[in-house]
Structure 1
Amino acid sequence: MATLNIWNKSGPWPARAALIRKQLAALAPDVLGLQEVLRLDEPAPDAESCQAVELCEGLGFELAFAPAMHYGAGLSFGNALASRHPIIEEAHFALPGADPGEARVLLYALVGTPHGLLPVFVTHLNWKLHHGSVRLLQVRFIVDKIFELCPVDESRLPPVLMGDFNAGPESDEIRYLSGHATVEGKSVYFADAWLHGGDGPGYTFDRKNRFAALAHEPPRRIDYVFVRGPDRGFRGEPLETRLAFAESEPHPEGELWPSDHFGVVTEIAATRREQ
């Protein structure tokens, strides 16, 4: 499972797209969540009209897309999911609390893996540093939607939630998700894959990346893979987690990175075991 905010078409997009494709082919995830994806509304989106198609074409993925904002002339901005396994169903839900011009969305897809049905959710929360209250509202909506669509049912794999949360692990919104904070008498637990299998701080927005440095923000871990698990058979347990899309190459305009964010990739247990 992997996630990446692709930074729309900012910066040297053709070169970035080629680098993302190169690293995606090497990574070969079963499921990939993408944020900040641009798409022109076409009956059959292709590499010219949809960034997700451009990045994944020929690599063996099925695609789902959820528009968050519509810019006019058929252009939309949102989240995408790429899967090497069949996408059985998909839906999307507008997140609450967004400012005009900063709408956000939750993408849901049910993926038919060889180990069972896997519910996957891809999201992208408000970005402003002072919008913690908005992100907390959005996270609570997401949690409620996950439990609505995925009641505890061990005939399915535990649901996965991933994306750009624009919030560090110490924030109320992430502490609520990871079981370290109670909000209005309610608490939940989703396993933060980085804490289970990652090494070091895991910064996904880091000033060593020259594209991230443009924001003049401190390094932060703001991109996540969460699992509502493991279940009693230990399915859904994060096993190994690392940064992805985090290698640069020389470029005439300066060091080339795939995006302004680094991605996250994690291996999740999909088969039952005794212990």
Structure 2
Amino acid sequence: MREGPSHERPRRDAAFSRRRGVGGAGGRDSAARSRHGRRDDDELEDARDMSDEAAKVDRLRVATLNVWNKSGPWLDRRTLIREQLEELAPDIVGLQEILELRVGDNAMNQADELLPEGFHRAYGASHEMSGSWVPEGQHLLFGNALLSRFPIRAHFVHPLPGEDLSDQKRTLLHAVLETPFGVLDVFVTHLNWKLEEGWIRERQVKEIARLIGEKARDDGRYPPLLMGDLNAEPQSDEIRYLGGYTRLGEERTVRFTDVWSYGGVGPGHTFDTIRNRFAGQYPEPPRRIDYIFVRGPAHDGRGRPMRPRIWAHRDENEIFPSDHFGVACDFAV
């Protein structure tokens, strides 16, 4: 269920003033243009001159959440997500199960309903949804989004392996951010969900590791971040492969650090079928399946996780923000 462009659009309500971020067409690489008209890939080095701004930043706060598209009482859930997002005050947010409705040349993106004031947004569709409930002439896309306090200089959407006959495709959204401490590569994804599809998720994490190794900048500035709903528990081969604890086939091992290992309290269940009544409709045990990873972290401490925690977990009259709980973490810069 998941891609599309991102735009600039002023829009205000009581909770947030929204602005669409930089974007490009789903399924193909795109580079946004800056306000001066130059291509962003010509300007990526500009961020390296921001030493004064970097001195003011003492940490990077990152969050991820599967928003459960618009299922359930969306308007009430949207209010809760906004409130808890505002309280968390993150710098970067990865979102999964984001819908985008396209009618002709117009697009309405669900992430814009959650966009904090001054933030930028990138979107990457995974597949188009179909059914009699989608009006003729309209296209409903399902994918991943990134919200960023920092400018998004470019973003790219990479397809992931899946089952050939399935219409539910998966993608990896890659956004290049200009931050006060340098260029930062951030990746957001959502893997196959069925418990028995571990073999597909294994192929997907191998491709994710390959893409990050190929696309992320390896200039020693700041390690790339990976986040999303991986639909796999920590002891699964998929997650152990990302952590460097096992091989998948003949592939070399990689090293991505699960932030929960840096002091996360308790089991960290993000799909809690006991506490969350929206998740409780599924015949599954509580599981930790949503993650934030950092490659490394760097030997000098950059990218070191601090205070990993659950967010978007508080209900109001048994209405939760989503069927998932989110993950948040601070990082040393």
Aligned 8 A contact 1:235 1:269 in 2: yes
2:78 corresponds in structure 1 to 17
1:147-180 per-residue CA deviation (whole Å, 9 max, x = no partner) reads 00125320x3100000000000010000000111
1:110 corresponds in structure 2 to 176
1:63 equivalent among 116, 121, 140: 121
> Which consecutive segments of 4 or more residues in structure 1 shift more than 6 A?
none
d(CA) in 2 for partners of 1:44, 1:267? 36
1:203 aligns with 2:264: no
Which consecutive residues of structure 2, in runs of 5 or more, have no partner in the other structure?
A: 1-61, 131-137
d(CA) in 1 for partners of 2:169, 2:313? 27
SS in 1 for 2:297: coil
d(CA) in 2 for partners of 1:182, 1:69? 29
CA RMSD after TM alignment:
1.3
1:14-53 per-residue CA deviation (whole Å, 9 max, x = no partner) reads 11011111111111110000000001136564xxx21100
SS in 1 for 2:253: coil
1:149 aligns with 2:215: yes
Report sequence identity in percent.
51
1:127 corresponds in structure 2 to 193
SS in 2 for 1:210: coil
Q: CA deviation at 1:71?
A: 2.6
1:273 corresponds in structure 2 to none
TM-score in terms of structure 2 length: 0.76
Counting only pairs closer than 5 Å after superposition, residues 1-275 of structure 1 correspond to structure 2 as 1-41=62-102, 45=107, 49-56=108-115, 58-71=116-129, 73-98=138-163, 99-154=165-220, 156-185=221-250, 186-207=252-273, 208-250=275-317, 255-270=318-333
Aligned length: 261
Larger Rg: 2
TM-score in terms of structure 1 length: 0.92
Q: CA deviation at 1:216?
A: 1.6
Which consecutive residues of structure 1, in runs of 5 or more, have no partner in the other structure?
A: 271-275
1:75-124 per-residue CA deviation (whole Å, 9 max, x = no partner) reads 10000000000001100011111452221110000111111111000000
Aligned 8 A contact 1:229 1:235 in 2: no
